[in-house]
Amino acid sequence: MLAISLALFGCDEPKDTNNDPVVQPMETNPYIQNQKLQRSINLGNILEAPAEGEWGLSLEAVYFELIANAGFTGVRLPVRWSTHADTVAPYTLDPQFLGRVDWAIAQAFENDLAIVVNVHHYEEMMTDPVTHLPRLLSIWHQLASHYQDYEDDLILELFNEPHNAFTSQLWNQYLTQLVDTIRTVDTSRTLMIGTAPWGGIDGLDNLELPADTNLIVTVHYYNPFQFTHQGASWSTGSDAWLGTTWGSTDDYNNLQQDFNRLKSWAETNQRPMNVGEFGAYNRAGMTSRQNWTRAVVNISESMEFSWMYWEFASGFGAFNKDTYEWNELLSALIQN
């Protein structure tokens, strides 16, 4: 599969083609990198919109300062690169949009925040992954080349929530090609890899990681879904869940069981673990949202998982973009 990437980008094939793990320098030890993301928040509904601002939120320099001052150590920047790249080979990225992402990374660095940049909402990959794989590989080759000299506080996440036709079997196949494509130009960048389908913890059962030691594994956690997504317009039947609360003994026990699974997988596979998304929609009661959020944060930190709350200032948000004030969720996220 490496040969596909090499042929696509006209790179010389490396002499060593064995399957031994690629050992990265100590300065990019993925466990150390993962700790930089210990307490992070997603800048969601901004650059993964079809165009910035379409979903009611645009990036502002002050957001990064506010996030850092609140006690967060990192941010995740979801990016819809697929609407900012040519549709024919070589699938060139829009330089103006790339510059906008560069600006966001610079803002993170200026505020001592680590940052994860991903490929988000590449919808065509969900319906026709085979056709769109060359374009995805090209996007990542361009990004890897562009960011190869950036400091290691930039972490690259390969793809957000594969699902539908982008099955777990295809995800496992494409992972190797994606990692190999990046490694042809950047051998030491820490990469983040999620699960299929939908980034959930069940996807760990099917995940087959490439032989590369410099990886962080990420999962998304929205259990119980009828609590976290009650009243969400995009979830069919969710209005019937309105009024669902969280905080019973059974609720805490179920959370513990889920995270015990994560801990067991991380230890067995010797990989650092990140909870890349978790959040409860704003139509749930605030007390329950606080209880659930605080519980997820506490158990993540007790197991030495980094976490990234979903999200900053939209439907799940912890910040009010109109008043420039944090809401009650901040005390559940940053507790000391």
Flag whether pLDDT at 13 surpasses 70: no
Average confidence score pLDDT of the chain: 93
Which residue's entry shows tokens 């990016």? Answer: 79
Flag whether pLDDT at 183 surpasses 80: yes
**Separation between Cα atoms, residue 182 and residue 184, nearest integer Å:** 5
Is 4 within the bounds of a domain? no
**Separation between Cα atoms, residue 157 and residue 78, nearest integer Å:** 9
| Closest to 276 (Cα-Cα) out of 310, 326, 319 | 310
Q: In this predicted model, what pLDDT tens digit does every residue of 149-158 receive, in sequence order?
A: 999 999 999 9
Is 242 within the bounds of a domain? yes
Average pLDDT over residues 78-106: 98
Is 164 within the bounds of a domain? yes
Q: Return the DSSP state at 28.
A: G
How many domains is the chain partitioned into structurally? 1
Average pLDDT over residues 166-180: 98
**Separation between Cα atoms, residue 97 and residue 94, nearest integer Å:** 5
Is 298 within the bounds of a domain? yes
Range of the domain at 191: 25-333
Percent of the chain with pLDDT over 70: 92
Q: In this predicted model, what pLDDT tens digit does every residue of 186-242 receive, in sequence order?
A: 999 999 999 999 999 999 999 999 999 999 999 999 999 999 999 999 999 999 999
Specify the range with the lowest mean pLDDT, choosing from 3-12, 39-48, 69-78, 118-127: 3-12
Q: In this predicted model, what pLDDT tens digit does every residue of 285-299 receive, in sequence order?
A: 999 999 999 999 999
Flag whether pLDDT at 25 surpasses 60: no
Residue 146 φ then ψ, to 5°? -65, -40
Is 18 within the bounds of a domain? no
Specify the range with the lowest mean pLDDT, choosing from 12-16, 162-166, 177-181: 12-16
Q: For position 336, what pLDDT does the model report?
A: 75
Q: In this predicted model, what pLDDT tens digit does every residue of 99-111 receive, in sequence order?
A: 999 999 999 999 9
- Per DSSP, helices labelled H in the chain are 2-9, 30-36, 61-70, 95-110, 123-127, 129-147, 168-183, 225-228, 249-269, 286-302, 329-333
Is 116 within the bounds of a domain? yes
Is 325 within the bounds of a domain? yes
| Closest to 279 (Cα-Cα) out of 41, 35, 38 | 41
Total-model pTM:
0.91
Q: For position 105, what pLDDT does the model report?
A: 98
Contacts with 51 (C-beta within 8 Å, 6 or more apart), sequence order? 83
Cα separation values, 335 from 2, 8, 52, 70, 331, Å = 45, 48, 32, 10, 6
**Separation between Cα atoms, residue 153 and residue 112, nearest integer Å:** 9
* DSSP-based three-state secondary structure for 242: coil
Flag whether pLDDT at 12 surpasses 80: no
Flag whether pLDDT at 23 surpasses 80: no
Burial 226-254 (b: 16+ CB within 10 A, else e): ebbbbbbeeeeebeebeebebbeeebeee
Q: For position 10, what pLDDT does the model report?
A: 38
Is 1 within the bounds of a domain? no
Average pLDDT over residues 11-18: 37
8 A C-beta contact, residue 246 and residue 226: no
Residue 130's pLDDT band (cuts 50, 70, 90): very high
Flag whether pLDDT at 17 surpasses 50: no
* DSSP-based three-state secondary structure for 222: coil
Flag whether pLDDT at 116 surpasses 60: yes
Residue 28's pLDDT band (cuts 50, 70, 90): confident
List the CATH number of the domain containing 68. 3.20.20.80
